[in-house]
């Protein structure tokens, strides 16, 4: 049976759930206060992964997880030789590196962590592609404009609604030339789809979520939903998600990457940063911050990070049951429930929700 995903609200059957470094990786941290913080973050991160898995398994979803043996080896080597930083755990957010579009599976990087998943897909007759192929031809132009390495079109930037694919923009990309180039490339690669460029300035799943046909949750006002989703109800969650944690994000940006460099944990600013996260922000995020980074199991069931009256009232109107799974450290790791999963197979065929578009 060939796996496929055409709509992200079709019944979920096979799903990748991310994984992070285990607590023992952080044994190298000399500062005891900081080391204990990272032990706790690692333990709670896996606890939350397991909560998510238990919800999915209640719906008979087959779970696959990345094999982190190889990056664990790299990390230990970096720690032992003291010459490099511990690699970031990119395998925590499989959505940022993999995406199934129809029957085509895109993955980047071509790393050993995805090997068992890739082999499983090949055994199920799927074709695998390097996700660089999605935007070949636009990368150099993008790099010239933004002056940094190009982000890839990935599962967090692609919203799959049957015949319509909605592609988000990267931060800083406003050039009409670049956007037209993206449109042209994707129209060539997906001739059976209608391509829409949506000015998200970042990942789609952090900005909006079309939960079921006719209903959208959004934290972004500038998007013209009347053009992209004509006639659909939009529930706007003002000042939610990233807007509520701006002060923490400033601290995080200041300390970005320092937690992977042996010796930096002795830095007072960094120590204060991790202590502040544990002593203030985790509790605040758990209790107060709702985001649209939700995962639809099917049209009647959604996994969300917490309670929000506007969202739950809308769920009630559309007959959707919410299942709460709070990913406590999502802003520390920079990835919500949708980011830490990647749907490999959903039952369904390509639908056309806007046939008037031709």
Q: What is the pLDDT of residue 142?
A: 41
Structure tokens given for 128: 């695998």
The Cα–Cα gap between 358 and 338 comes to 31
Q: What is the pLDDT of residue 149?
A: 39
pLDDT tens digits for range 44-55: 999 999 999 999
Residues in the chain predicted with pLDDT less than 70, given as ranges, are 83, 132-153, 171-178, 221-223
Q: What is the pLDDT of residue 173?
A: 64
Backbone angles phi, psi at 339, to 5 degrees: -65, -35
The Cα–Cα gap between 155 and 71 comes to 22
Q: For the chain, first and last CA: distance in Å?
A: 30
Domain boundaries, the chain: 12-357
Cβ atoms of 8 and 343 within 8 Å: the answer is yes
Q: What is the pLDDT of residue 258?
A: 85
Q: What is the pLDDT of residue 114?
A: 93
Q: In CATH, which of 3.40.50.1820, 3.75.10.10, 3.40.50.880, 3.40.50.720 is domain 12-357? A: 3.75.10.10
Q: Is 24 exposed, middle or buried (0-12, 13-18, 19+ CB in 10 A)?
A: exposed
Q: What is the pLDDT of residue 118?
A: 93
pLDDT tens digits for range 253-296: 888 788 888 888 888 888 888 888 998 888 887 777 888 999 99
* DSSP states along 159-171: EEETTEEEEEPPT
Q: What is the pLDDT of residue 179?
A: 74
The Cα–Cα gap between 88 and 92 comes to 9
The Cα–Cα gap between 282 and 329 comes to 7
**pTM passes above 0.85:** yes
């Amino acid at each position: 049976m060939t796996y496929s995903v055409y709509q992200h609200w079709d019944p979920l059957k096979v799903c990748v759930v991310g994984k992070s470094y285990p607590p023992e990786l952080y044994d190298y941290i000399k500062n005891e206060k900081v080391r204990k913080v990272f032990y706790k973050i690692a333990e709670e991160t896996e606890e939350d992964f397991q909560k998510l898995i238990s919800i999915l398994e209640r719906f008979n979803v087959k779970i696959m997880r990345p094999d982190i043996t190889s990056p664990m080896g790299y990390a230990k080597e970096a720690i032992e030789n003291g010459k490099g930083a511990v690699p970031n755990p990119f395998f925590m957010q499989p959505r940022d590196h993999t995406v199934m579009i129809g029957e085509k599976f895109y993955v980047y990087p071509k790393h050993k962590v995805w090997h068992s998943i890739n082999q499983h897909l090949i055994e199920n007759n799927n074709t695998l592609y390097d996700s660089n192929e999605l935007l070949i031809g636009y990368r150099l132009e993008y790099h010239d404009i933004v002056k940094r390495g190009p982000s890839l079109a990935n599962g967090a930037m692609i919203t799959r609604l049957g015949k319509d694919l909605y592609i988000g923009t990267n931060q800083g990309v406003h050039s009409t030339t670049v956007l037209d180039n993206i449109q042209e490339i994707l129209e060539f690669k997906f001739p059976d789809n209608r391509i829409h460029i949506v000015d998200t300035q970042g990942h789609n799943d952090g900005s909006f979520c079309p939960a079921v046909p006719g209903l959208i949750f959004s934290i972004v006002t500038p998007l013209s939903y009347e053009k992209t989703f004509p006639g659909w109800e939009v529930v706007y969650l003002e000042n939610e998600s990233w807007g509520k944690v701006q002060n923490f994000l400033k601290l995080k940006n200041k300390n970005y990457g320092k937690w992977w460099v042996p010796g930096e944990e002795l830095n007072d600013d960094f120590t204060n940063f991790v202590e502040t996260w544990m002593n203030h922000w985790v509790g605040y995020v758990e209790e107060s911050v709702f985001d649209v980074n939700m995962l639809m199991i099917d049209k009647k069931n959604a996994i969300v990070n917490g309670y929000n009256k506007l969202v739950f009232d809308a769920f009630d109107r559309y007959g959707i049951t919410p299942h709460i799974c709070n990913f406590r450290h999502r802003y520390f790791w920079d990835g919500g429930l949708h980011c830490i999963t990647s749907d490999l197979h959903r039952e369904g065929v390509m639908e056309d929700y806007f046939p008037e578009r031709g």
